[in-house]
A and B are shown apart, each in its own frame.
Chain A
Amino acid sequence: MKPGPVLVDSFYHDVPADQHQGLLDMLVKQPASAAAYVLKNPAYEEVDCIYVYCEDDRALRLPAQKRTVGRLRESGVKMKEVLLPSGHFPFLSMPDKLLDAILEAV
Chain B
Amino acid sequence: MKCEYCTVGRILTGPRNPHQGDVPGVSTRSLRSDSYLGPLPSGISGTTEYCPQDETGAYKGRDDIDTGSSPGCQHLHYYWPPSLFINRVQPDISCDSRAPSMSPAQPAFVLAGGSWHIPAHYQAFHDVVSARGLKIIVPPLPSGVEGRVDAPFEADTKAVADAVRGLVEQGSDVVVIGHSSGGISAAEAAHGLGVRERAAKGLPGGVRSLVLVSGLGEPAGTQPQWDEESLASKAADTMAFEVRTARSRCPTRGLQQ
Q: Which residues of A contact B (CB under 8 A)?
A: 3, 6-7, 9-11, 22-44, 46-54, 57-61, 63-65, 67-69, 71-72, 74-75, 77, 88-92, 95-96, 98-99, 102-103, 105-106
Contacts and interface: CB of A to CB of B under 8 A. Distances in A.
Nearest to B117: A27
A44 B188 CA distance: 9
Contacts of A27: 116-118, 239, 243-244
Nearest to B227: A64
Contact of A38 (B111, B222, B235): B222
Given A6-B234, A46-B191, A59-B230, A52 B217 contact: no
B231 A28 contact: no
A30 B191 CA distance: 24
B219 A9 contact: no
Nearest to B109: A102
Interface residues of B, number: 84
B220 to A, nearest CB: 5
B1 to A, nearest CB: 20
A43 B246 contact: no
Interface in B206-231: 207-227, 229-231
Interface in B158-192: 175-177, 179-181, 184-185, 187-192
Contact of B212 (A33, A51, A99): A51
Contacts of B143: 30-31, 33-34
Contact of B118 (A26, A38, A88, A102): A26
Nearest to A93: B124
Contacts of B185: 37
B214 A52 contact: yes
A9 B146 contact: no
Contacts of A10: 231-232, 234-235
Interface in B79-129: 106-107, 111, 115-118, 120-122, 124-125, 127-129
Contacts of B144: 28-30, 34
Interface stretch (B15-23, B58-66, B148-156): B148-156
29 contacts: A3-B241, A6-B231, A6-B235, A10-B234, A28-B146, A30-B115, A34-B144, A34-B153, A35-B224, A35-B236, A37-B153, A37-B224, A39-B184, A42-B191, A43-B194, A44-B210, A48-B208, A49-B209, A59-B235, A60-B227, A64-B230, A64-B232, A68-B216, A71-B217, A72-B219, A90-B213, A91-B125, A95-B127, A105-B209
